[in-house]
Chain A
């Protein structure tokens, strides 16, 4: 079983537990195994969960999934790493540099959206606050990913990341519609998780394989959180499903974002760095693609967020065109 399948199964179990526990009320939920609240709008509007309750659930799950970068690095045999291993680690480290600005943007945007909705839709304001609150856990967990890969690249003699590159990759993303932002982040986590799942199958060193497995599992949890927040926005009726489909189409379409650095022409964005534009296979000629798996998982995310079932990129485009209208 691949890491993505394994972590998806883990996530499914967690969702089922969450739904069952939360139906018994906020106090009972606290005694169940930690899990993501997958039906957040209902939890806030119908089941009476407060932001203190939601934050407690976030904290419990965060604590239950913690791991040590220092301990995992100690188990890697640096002398056993192949050129492909080192290239995969180097790319992962550079990609992970862009997560902090993503989390910083999410926190800032969620705060602004919370204030915007406070007077007109308190439930949406609470969802935005819950999202902004969770962004601190996401940011902290991603710090593990960034440091584990960059430290490993450094120790294994890969080309150093200059301070200029580090700062360039830290540019904060421009604001956007919140549903679109959450969908983009869900897809980014899907892409990362599938890539790391592929990496896990290629590398030989057990210590390095464990790192890729651990990081992929984290990314799947993050995907599930983004799906939960995005679904809550659609459930509220204040955000339109077309925007989730628009972002999915942006990634899945021919020559779209999923093709990343393989595209003939890259946009000069000027404002920020998208990690998928900057993967470099160097001389190894290995690229962790698995496009069908990514397409399948993106369609699955759309189903959970919007309730609309699609199975391929063509169906995503058709549905998006229908939702957009004229």
Chain B
């Protein structure tokens, strides 16, 4: 299952760039606002945007798929962000044929 592998990869990369554990990021409907508050590497939503960008760059480097995220409100849960990431990944992968 490629998607399962990619999901674990995205979770790992995002956790790495946020300086948090997987549990701190993805348990109990954590919102993006909460991620900024918890992360020792983030001051505001620009840092969050950069963590997503670095995750997207890593995906492109290791999977050859370019994922672009839409602007997401800060009350979005990390689970919802992960879903968007995966949907975008699959869409771009299919488009690339």
Kindly identify which residue among A177, A250, A326 contacts B49, using a CB–CB cutoff of 8 Å.
Answer: A250
Cβ A321 vs Cβ B56 within 8 A: yes
Interface centre among A176, A317, A324, A325 (most CB of B within 10 A): A324
Interface of B is mostly: helix
Cβ A250 vs Cβ B46 within 8 A: yes
* Residue of A whose beta carbon sits closest to that of B17: A326
Write out the residue numbers on chain A whose beta carbons fall within 8 Å of the beta carbon of B61: 326
A245 CA to B58 CA, complexed, in Å: 19
- Stretch among A29-37, A125-133, A186-194, A251-259 lining the B interface: A251-259
Give the contacts of A237-268 with B (CB-CB under 8 A).
Answer: 242-243, 246-247, 249-250, 253-256, 265, 267
Given the interface pairs A176-B43, A246-B50, A326-B61, the reply to whether A317 lies near B74 with Cβ below 8 Å is no
Least CB distance, B78 to chain A, in whole angstroms: 17
Give the contacts of B23-41 with A (CB-CB under 8 A).
Answer: none
Given the interface pairs A176-B44, A177-B43, the reply to whether A321 lies near B71 with Cβ below 8 Å is no
**Per-residue CB proximity of B62-83 to A under 8 Å, as 1/0?**
0000001011011000000000
Cβ A265 vs Cβ B73 within 8 A: yes
A253 CA to B50 CA, complexed, in Å: 14
A-B contact count (CB 8 A): 44
Write out the residue numbers on chain B whose beta carbons fall within 8 Å of the beta carbon of A255: 70-71
A254 CA to B70 CA, complexed, in Å: 7
Which positions in B face A, CB cutoff 8 Å? Answer: 43-46, 49-50, 53-58, 60-61, 68, 70-71, 73-74
Q: Can you list 25 residue pairs at the A/B interface with Cβ under 8 Å?
A: A174-B43, A174-B44, A175-B43, A176-B44, A176-B46, A177-B43, A246-B49, A250-B45, A250-B46, A250-B49, A254-B71, A255-B70, A255-B71, A265-B73, A267-B74, A317-B68, A320-B53, A321-B53, A321-B56, A321-B57, A324-B54, A324-B57, A326-B54, A326-B60, A326-B61
